[in-house]
Amino acid sequence: MSKGTDRLYWAGFSLILALLIVAPLVLPEFWQRFVTEILIWGLLAMSSDILIGYTGMVSFGHSAFFGLGMYGAAAALISVKPPNIWLALGYGLIGSAGVALFVAYFSTRLRDIYFAITTLIFSQIFYVIIFTWTEVTGGENGLTFSRPALAIPGLFSLPFTPDTLHWFVLGVVTASYLMLRRITQSPFGMVLQSIRENEARTRAIGYAVERYKMVAVMLSGLFAGLAGVLYAVQNRFAAPDFVYFLVSGETVIFNVMGGIGTLVGPIAGAAFYLLLREAFSRFLTEYYLIPVGIIFIAMIIFVPQGLLGFLRRRLNQ
Amino acid sequence: MELVAEFLHAIPYDQILIQTLNGIVAGMILALVASGLTLIFGIMDVVNFAHGELFMLGAYVGVIIIAATGNFWLALIVATLIVAVLGAALQITTLRPLLGRDPLTTILATFGLSLVLQNYALWQFGPVARKIQEPFTGSFSIFYLQYPWYRVLIAALSAAIIGGFWLFLKHGTYGIWIRATTQDRVMAQAMGIPVPWVHTAAFAIGAGMAAASGVLFAPLVGVTHAMGLDWVLKAFIVVVVGGMGNLGGSIAASIFISLLESYASIWLDPAQAVIVSFVVLILTLLFRPTGLFVPTPK
Amino acid sequence: MKPADGNTAPLVHVEDIDTYYGKSHILHGVSLEVGRGEVVGLLGRNGVGKSTTLKTIMGLVSPRRGKVIYEGRVVTGLPAHRLARIGIAYVPEDRRIFRLLTVMENLRTGFDRRGVSEARRQELLAKVFGYFPVLAERRNQAGGTLSGGEQQMLAIARAMMLEPKIILLDEPTEGLMPRMISQIREIIEVLHREGVAILLVEQNVPLTLAASQRVYIMEKGTVRHHCPSSELKVNDAVIHQYLGV
């Protein structure tokens, strides 16, 4: 980006970051949790943008990565006492990495619609396994556990308050964003975008497209799993509902509503969707998805680039 | 020798027989649902996520008509027609504007539609499952077991509808229009075929087929707003396994997968039997990605 | 320059069209005319925009600027299926017959229209089978099983089923054996006698000059030269310049 836009960008970024830091101090508890959840879903959506927006691979299976991150963390938090946050992170990331490897393998052999449908079915496979393997996963009811403290064993242990948890989540999400931004603006990221634009040409130039795709899937899966771990830590439960393909669908909605290929777009999309949902559910109780769904469809037709799509060119130079 | 005899004795023959019949019945319904999906995909490259909801709405309309008139057959016909018209309306309003855009957009649009339709059904009909009575009860004897006539009827009717559709495609002007448009949309237009309307008609036909399946299947299970989800997933698997756009292949795949699932449910919990179709999909994608029932490309 | 026959209003008038494929600017202000019953040639090297011009006339591609006027009516932007019904037929490069439909079904896509009586359909079929006996033999065979030359004949026959006033022919002789090429030449002659106009895009210069009354020569997306065919010889300097063999 040019110097001018650069400065504008960082100014905007700092402003939003400042607002988010201050949020828990000024907002009532419900909204504070709401903002924290937006961040977590935003992270999930951002991870999916790597595939959809940057590599051009539509995935309907992100709920599998998210879910396994969540259940992995649950496993750590239940089996090891006292609950250790780093172990939770570790288990969660390994869980989602495993799924990502599986999906990555198929990603190289399938194109477009086939890939999308297959990822959807994979997330359903995991859903069924988790739902029915009651002894290990708690089946329908899921697992509950206690929240770990922010601790380095031997040095200090700081139990989370809602405020500090929010800042922890904010820290993780911000760091993830910066990392992903770095990656997408690197030569690697450029190759991914080239694959999105014209896979055949990219291959013809000499890039090992398959390898790039696999790395993209792994990257996407890891950050999605990270979101799952954060969710587990925040809510202290893991449930099969989060592995259901509806979550994958909603993730894609966040991406499209917010603007794919921008990294920040999907976060905005998540915020927009969740706010809409909150607003409508106050007036219409359970049927809020009807107007939200209609708005979504209308956006696809009339605003296909999403809310922040106009930033795409600027952000990716 | 004794082991063999014991093994043979342990095979649950009667269950296998029943499950074979169940598999064929379920397979025919799945074939009917998948045919509509294949038609829509083949002709306009649209992956219709809302297909399960069209199935579900068909079942609900059936419930209403039966409650009002008591006549199952009337319900079947009216539900099919109403949902077909609804399908046409949906295609015109939400899919036509997306013509020519990235296929992702149609997947998303139909996904959005499925959310709206599902929640609409939840809103209108509530969460409690409705029941439809079978139009006639009674079973026939096969060997020493009883099997309900109605289930046989479902299979026969589904086969008849698919057969009728196939005949329609093979003969008659409109069948030719649909086939030509599926093969080469551009040249079909250049030959004067009103392609946008052919698309709408195809979507309506697919929707009607889904609705008919819904009504036929309804007496076997409770009608709920979420009943479409399982079907749409299985139908997708069938379409991929059978070969995208291949009608005969998806019918064969439907029966194949349903049979396997039925057999599996002898030993497994029904929620787990579903994994069978997933496994078939994975194996197909690994070894015969163009479809199990499609001749291997050279 | 007036068209060949007495009727001065052209059948098809393409006025100053600019057509793009995505960001590529293919046609730059192309203008041409075809009179009723006239055979007009469109020559030029590969990639100069000849096919795009035909597709623009056929409504398969919309021009960003300019007009297509047919029988005095502005038809720019109308969808192809409407144009096919009012008398414009298109025979594309690489034929594009419906491979999975039989020969008969291919023809039916043309004559299964409203307002065509059963008797007329039989007449059309008889006529086309008269010109292309091979198609009669193979009438129940799938289009994809025909040879290249037979597919070309089917593509032309199918267009004739529309009873068009003008046929847009895109490189009909490409990849054909000499015997077939002369058959194409004859068909063009027959159509001309019946009063059907033809806009013929071709790489085959001698054929084009012999079959048409006027030719346009295109280069880089625009018309560079235009004259009666009689004024050009095969080894003319103009030909060398724009078709550089």
Residue-wise pLDDT for B66-89, tens only, equals: 888 888 889 999 999 999 999 999
Residue A148: other Cβ atoms inside 10 A: 24
pLDDT of A117 reads 80
Which range, of A276-290, C69-83, C136-150, averages the lowest pLDDT?
Answer: A276-290
A to C contact (≥3 Cβ pairs closer than 8 Å): no
Q: Closest-CA residue in chain A for B112?
A: A293
pLDDT tier for residue B106 given thresholds of 50, 70 and 90: confident
Helix (H) / strand (E) element for C16: namely strand C12-21
Calculate how close chain C gets to B54, using CA atoms only, in Å: 30
pLDDT tier for residue C234 given thresholds of 50, 70 and 90: confident
Residue A106 exposure: Cα atoms within 13 Å on the Cβ side: 25
In the predicted structure, residue C245 carries a pLDDT above the cut 70: no
Nearest CA to A275 out of A13, A86, A41 is that of A41
Residue A95 three-state SS: helix
User: Who's near B25: CB < 8 A, 6+ residues apart?
Assistant: B151, B152, B154, B155
Q: Which residue has the higher pLDDT, B93 or C114?
A: B93
What percent of chain C has pLDDT above 70? 96
pLDDT of A2 reads 65
Beta bridge partners, C42, equal: C201, C216
Tokens of B262: 């039925």
Partners of residue B128 in chain A, C-beta under 8 Å: none
Q: Do B289 and A114 touch (CB under 8 A)?
A: yes
> What would the pLDDT profile of C77-114 be if each residue is shown by its tens digit?
899 999 999 999 999 998 899 999 999 999 999 888 87
Residue A93, chain B, CB below 8 Å: the answer is no
Q: Residue ranges of the domains in chain B?
A: 15-226
In the predicted structure, residue C3 carries a pLDDT above the cut 50: no
Q: Is the dihedral of CA C222, C227, C230, C236 positive or negative?
A: negative
In the predicted structure, residue C201 carries a pLDDT above the cut 70: yes
Q: Which string of DSSP letters, residue by residue, matches B102-140?
A: -HHHHHHHHHHHHHHHHHHHHHHH-SSPB----S---EE
Mean pLDDT of A241-259: 88
Nearest to B275 among A128, A293, A304 (CB): A128
pLDDT of A24 reads 79
pLDDT tier for residue B293 given thresholds of 50, 70 and 90: low
Q: What is the DSSP letter of C242?
A: H
Residue B51: C-alpha distances to residues A61, A276, C245 (Å): 19, 26, 57
> What would the pLDDT profile of A43-94 be if each residue is shown by its tens digit?
999 999 999 888 888 888 899 999 999 998 888 888 877 777 888 888 889 9
Alpha-helical runs (H) found in A144-186: 162-185
pLDDT of C145 reads 92
pLDDT tier for residue A317 given thresholds of 50, 70 and 90: low
| Class of domain C39-51+80-243 as given by CATH | alpha beta
Q: Residue ranges of the domains in chain C?
A: 39-51+80-243
**Phi/psi-derived region of residue C12, left when phi > 0, alpha when psi is between -120 and 50, beta in every other case:** beta
**Phi/psi-derived region of residue C240, left when phi > 0, alpha when psi is between -120 and 50, beta in every other case:** alpha
Partners of residue B34 in chain A, C-beta under 8 Å: none
Mean pLDDT of A11-23: 85
Rg for chain B (alpha carbons), in Å? 20
Q: Chain B interface, mutation test: which of A52, A105, A117, most B Cβ atoms within 10 Å?
A: A117
Q: ipTM of the predicted structure?
A: 0.88
pLDDT of B30 reads 92
Residue B141: other Cβ atoms inside 10 A: 8
Tokens of C180: 């077939």
Q: Which string of DSSP letters, residue by residue, matches B15-74?
A: HHHHHHHHHHHHHHHHHHHHHHHHHHHHHH----TTHHHHHHHHHHHHHHHHHHH--HHH
Which range, of A223-232, B75-84, B184-193, B264-273, averages the lowest pLDDT?
Answer: B264-273
In the predicted structure, residue B25 carries a pLDDT above the cut 80: yes
pLDDT of C7 reads 52
Nearest CA to C153 out of B150, B289, B87, C136 is that of C136
Mean pLDDT of A162-171: 86
pLDDT tier for residue C8 given thresholds of 50, 70 and 90: low
Partners of residue B101 in chain C, C-beta under 8 Å: none
**Phi/psi-derived region of residue C47, left when phi > 0, alpha when psi is between -120 and 50, beta in every other case:** left
Nearest CA to B54 out of B71, B33, B78 is that of B33
In this prediction the pTM is: 0.87
Residues 30-69 on C with a CB inside 8 Å of B are: 58, 60
Nearest to B112 among A120, A128, A297 (CB): A297
Calculate how close chain B gets to A265, using CA atoms only, in Å: 17
pLDDT of A1 reads 55
Q: Closest-CA residue in chain A for B123?
A: A287
Mean pLDDT of C58-76: 92
Residue C151 exposure: Cα atoms within 13 Å on the Cβ side: 20
Distance CA B201, CA B87 (A): 9
In the predicted structure, residue B295 carries a pLDDT above the cut 70: no
pLDDT tier for residue C42 given thresholds of 50, 70 and 90: very high
Q: Which string of DSSP letters, residue by residue, matches B184-237?
A: -HHHHHHTT--HHHHHHHHHHHHHHHHHHHHHHHGGGS-B-TTHHHHHHHHHHH
Residue A57: C-alpha distances to residues A211, A214, A315, B31, C227 (Å): 14, 11, 20, 29, 53
